[in-house]
Chains A and B, each alone.
Chain A
């Protein structure tokens, strides 16, 4: 039959096209990079101590990575994977684990909780990983982390900010500062400098990350005695915010607080300016991406972000990370990449310190990490396996994030 053959042919062509287009980086685990470029590895002296005299480590140490690499959440999954792969490459180049190599196996969660559970099962039972980095969303973490907890495999999230993540068990870690560690300080600092007394709030109410951020903002605003004249919501995937912003503009707030991710926030900024709402716009971790200024252009000027990471931090660990990232991927990293990169380094350091590939020993070594120099700053875990480091307040000036002073 003719149409049948034609359809088949087209499908084959499409698949070939796909093969040509798809990013090759995801395919293979980044074990033993073949090209060794010592010049491109400026972290050698900074990010970690010289090669370990590791005891019981040899061969391949397999660490799983379960992140959203397809579907809409891949927008965060991609920089996260980039950060992890970059770290793995450096860790192996520097022989952090002595004779052993760190091998990262990535499984796609598609941002879906069922697939996250399945990815964890595959990593634990088939790939026999000693630890897992991930998953991308807090939603997935609530579903999949119990699987790792039950199997006694340490799991380290680098983008889970919801309350209660590490309450799931003693094998569950995260290195992403929850909004509750970032936002109260942001409100304090900006209120002091900008002197606003009535604000309007906008947030995405169907997203765990933006909703958590809103809850903390609302509490911080209330305790700082700031009047909230309007609270407006939007949904994931919305592009038109003019109805909400018109309503807000009519109430003449002195600042606009936005709990949104960078891509949405950028469009909110553009439209707010178009509607004549020229007040300062303040947000949390979600703002902290080069995409904010890239998309919003001049509308992003003066936007303030409370954040866990400052791209301009002059510490050598950070400059080395930013430079290596640019060299490898040809663009600035965002906070997701920085936290994922740090997570991979933390895990590798725990493996090194444990001196064995035993998950229980790695868990203990990870929990014991104190004052680790990282792009996020001097990093420690607290007794509940949550991150401890100093957050920053950033402002967009000339299209770049700078420390807000």
Chain B
């Protein structure tokens, strides 16, 4: 049983990590809590679902459509909800409000378009293969999501470290004002950030839509809270930190269920989170730079 639970923890961890990748990016670069990320994630799942069911696309093409669609949605989100606040030099807390407003709108639009009912990808979108090795069972989609989260993480890290835009992003994350002085087009970098972050959200929407048959306008809310915990636990905008935190949270949850009690799963997970923060007040891999809320 232990081995299977370990697989379960790795699996759930890759789910959290996948969701957190894009989430932590906006958080790190712009230092805002974007509570509309879950809504973009949900739209990503629907973009993918529509591509498969209405346009008869294969699943890999649907994934691209979802990433593109969510990426554009992210840019729109920035234009409507965040850019006007930046222009007015608004306090960071203001972004929470406009992201809540944007999230409400996006969820209601989805409910209007697709109804509140839960839907799923067609059964044949992906073979429902189960691999059995000894005491452990793994499904194809679990392997795909695990690999995808690792690949996307590496791609994102390379992008941040090697590419011009990525380097500029890190500069903007450090200080928008200094970046502007250095001749970086801050506005363009922010648009890029939103695009990349939202495209990642869209990708995780499709992957998790395939993994769990629970696509609905409200699918973003439960994972948003977990995602928030993960990106903060990982350290502000720290991509490897978020991945690590995702696996840590998942392990706490899975082994909490396995060896303590499923009743107290979330209480155990959040208690561990608070304790970790008391010892690492800036997150697991966060640097001790103090920022204001």
Binding site for B on A (CB under 8 A): 1, 3-4, 6-7, 10-11, 14, 17-18, 21-23, 70-72, 74-75, 77-78, 205, 232-240, 242-244, 246-247, 250, 263, 266-267, 270, 274-276, 291, 294-298
7 interchain pairs (CB within 8 A)? A3-B87, A235-B265, A237-B221, A242-B8, A247-B258, A267-B214, A274-B137
A74: nearest chain-B partner, CB-CB: B116
Bits for B266-291, please: 1 = Cβ < 8 Å to A, else 0. 10000000000000000000000000
A7, A18, A72: the one within 8 Å of B108 (CB) = A18
A11, A78, A235, A266: the one within 8 Å of B117 (CB) = A78
In the complex the two chains form, is A246's CB within 8 Å of B87's CB? no
B79, B112, B130, B132: the one within 8 Å of A22 (CB) = B112
A14, A23, A247, A270: the one within 8 Å of B105 (CB) = A14
In the complex the two chains form, is B117's CB within 8 Å of A243's CB? no
Binding site for A on B (CB under 8 A): 1, 4-5, 8-9, 11-12, 15, 76, 79-80, 83-84, 87, 105, 108-109, 111-113, 115-120, 123, 128, 130, 132, 137, 139, 208, 211-214, 216, 218-219, 221-222, 253-254, 257-258, 262-263, 265-266
In the complex the two chains form, is B263's CB within 8 Å of A70's CB? no
What residues of B have a CB within 8 angstroms of the CB of A236 in the complex?
Answer: 222
Known contacts A17-B109, A243-B253, A250-B1: A276-B84 contact under CB 8 Å? no
What residues of A have a CB within 8 angstroms of the CB of B211 in the complex?
Answer: 239
In the complex the two chains form, is B257's CB within 8 Å of A240's CB? no
- Please count the residue pairs between chain A and chain B whose beta carbons lie under 8 angstroms apart in the complex: 127
B16: nearest chain-A partner, CB-CB: A240
In the complex the two chains form, is B258's CB within 8 Å of A246's CB? yes
What CA separation (Å) do A240 and B265 show in the bound complex? 13
In the complex the two chains form, is A71's CB within 8 Å of B218's CB? yes
B132, B137, B212, B258: the one within 8 Å of A239 (CB) = B212
In the complex the two chains form, is B8's CB within 8 Å of A246's CB? yes
Chain A binding site: helix, strand, loop or mixed by DSSP?
helix
In the complex the two chains form, is B80's CB within 8 Å of A10's CB? yes
B80, B112, B128: the one within 8 Å of A21 (CB) = B112
What residues of A have a CB within 8 angstroms of the CB of B253 in the complex?
Answer: 243
B256: nearest chain-A partner, CB-CB: A243
What CA separation (Å) do A331 and B135 show in the bound complex? 42
In the complex the two chains form, is A233's CB within 8 Å of B262's CB? yes
B117: nearest chain-A partner, CB-CB: A75
What CA separation (Å) do A305 and B41 show in the bound complex? 33
Chain B binding site: helix, strand, loop or mixed by DSSP?
helix
* Distance to closest chain B CB from A111 (angstroms): 10
A1: nearest chain-B partner, CB-CB: B87
Known contacts A18-B108, A246-B8, A263-B214: A72-B80 contact under CB 8 Å? no
What residues of B have a CB within 8 angstroms of the CB of A276 in the complex?
Answer: 132, 137
* Distance to closest chain B CB from A385 (angstroms): 29
A230: nearest chain-B partner, CB-CB: B262
B98: nearest chain-A partner, CB-CB: A7
What CA separation (Å) do A75 and B132 show in the bound complex? 36
What CA separation (Å) do A294 and B122 show in the bound complex? 10
What CA separation (Å) do A14 and B76 show in the bound complex? 10
In the complex the two chains form, is A18's CB within 8 Å of B112's CB? yes
What residues of A have a CB within 8 angstroms of the CB of B258 in the complex?
Answer: 243, 246-247
What CA separation (Å) do A72 and B110 show in the bound complex? 12
A205: nearest chain-B partner, CB-CB: B263
What CA separation (Å) do A404 and B86 show in the bound complex? 62
What residues of A have a CB within 8 angstroms of the CB of B4 in the complex?
Answer: 246, 275
B77: nearest chain-A partner, CB-CB: A10
A75, A234, A270: the one within 8 Å of B116 (CB) = A75
What residues of A have a CB within 8 angstroms of the CB of B8 in the complex?
Answer: 240, 242-243, 246
Known contacts A21-B113, A74-B111, A274-B130: A240-B84 contact under CB 8 Å? no
In the complex the two chains form, is B116's CB within 8 Å of A78's CB? yes
What CA separation (Å) do A69 and B256 show in the bound complex? 36
What CA separation (Å) do A74 and B116 show in the bound complex? 6
In the complex the two chains form, is A295's CB within 8 Å of B120's CB? yes
* Distance to closest chain B CB from A106 (angstroms): 15
What CA separation (Å) do A236 and B219 show in the bound complex? 11
What residues of A have a CB within 8 angstroms of the CB of B221 in the complex?
Answer: 72, 237
Among the interface residues B117, B212, B214, B221, which one has the most CB atoms of the partner chain A within 10 A?
Answer: B117
In the complex the two chains form, is B118's CB within 8 Å of A295's CB? yes
A7, A72, A234, A238: the one within 8 Å of B84 (CB) = A7
In the complex the two chains form, is A72's CB within 8 Å of B218's CB? yes
Known contacts A70-B111, A233-B262: A244-B1 contact under CB 8 Å? no
* Distance to closest chain B CB from A108 (angstroms): 11
In the complex the two chains form, is A297's CB within 8 Å of B76's CB? no
Among the interface residues B120, B216, B266, which one has the most CB atoms of the partner chain A within 10 A?
Answer: B120
**The 9 A-B residue pairs with the shortest CB-CB distance in the complex, in nearest-first order:** A237-B222, A21-B112, A239-B212, A22-B112, A74-B116, A243-B257, A72-B218, A21-B113, A243-B254
What residues of A have a CB within 8 angstroms of the CB of B262 in the complex?
Answer: 232-234, 243-244, 247
* Distance to closest chain A CB from B49 (angstroms): 13
In the complex the two chains form, is B108's CB within 8 Å of A70's CB? yes
What residues of A have a CB within 8 angstroms of the CB of B84 in the complex?
Answer: 3-4, 7
What residues of B have a CB within 8 angstroms of the CB of A22 in the complex?
Answer: 108, 112
What residues of B have a CB within 8 angstroms of the CB of A233 in the complex?
Answer: 262-263, 265
In the complex the two chains form, is A75's CB within 8 Å of B118's CB? yes
Known contacts A244-B257, A246-B8: A238-B222 contact under CB 8 Å? yes
What CA separation (Å) do A171 and B189 show in the bound complex? 62
Among the interface residues A3, A232, A296, which one has the most CB atoms of the partner chain B within 10 A?
Answer: A3
A6: nearest chain-B partner, CB-CB: B79
* Distance to closest chain B CB from A231 (angstroms): 9
What residues of B have a CB within 8 angstroms of the CB of A274 in the complex?
Answer: 128, 130, 137, 139
What residues of B have a CB within 8 angstroms of the CB of A71 in the complex?
Answer: 218
What residues of B have a CB within 8 angstroms of the CB of A270 in the complex?
Answer: 213
What residues of A have a CB within 8 angstroms of the CB of B254 in the complex?
Answer: 242-243
What CA separation (Å) do A276 and B76 show in the bound complex? 45
